[in-house]
Amino acid sequence: MSNNFILICSERQAELEAAKAAFFMSGNKVQVLEPFKLKPRGPRKDLGRLPSKRGTRGKLKRTSDSHFIRRITYIATIRELAKTMTIDQAMAATGKSESAMRRASHEGGFTFKSKVVDRERDLKLIERLTALRDAGVSRIAACRKVGISDTLLNRLVLDYDFNFPKRWEKRV
């Protein structure tokens, strides 16, 4: 095998030499080019943050004192609303989210006016839920059929001594 390999290599080398000689005989020359040089990336200009796509806003940068004063006045405004409004009404009046209202309530140490409970509506819900409970419907299915949340069902159970047992409890 090694003899065949040597024979093939020598034949190939002879072909390449003949091609090289023909190339130079036709008047062509070998052109020597400069080698490729790798240019490393330059250092980043701003290591802090990337520039925003929108550009600068043009407002003055807020200082901690100005932000603190605005926050105190915001909480005072929400505190005044909380004296006469429920959290839902205050959300509608200010356009702020419930989490923003609750955060302000926590920071300011106040609570909103509690929601007015409609006793007649609650008693009608209890009648419907009692019928579903007696039919053997689960708590979550009853909530879906009546269109209430599990939290409201728990409030009805606590406020009106209404019993809607959970799956693992025995029904009385």
For tokens 């939290």, the residue is 151
The pTM assigned to this predicted structure is 0.39
Report d(CA 151, CA 158) in Å as an integer: 11
Averages of pLDDT over each 10 residues, the chain, 172 residues:
79 92 90 89 71 58 79 93 90 92 91 82 92 91 91 86 73 52
For tokens 């039919």, the residue is 135
Structure tokens belonging to residue 159: 């406020």
Domain ranges of the chain: 64-108, 119-160
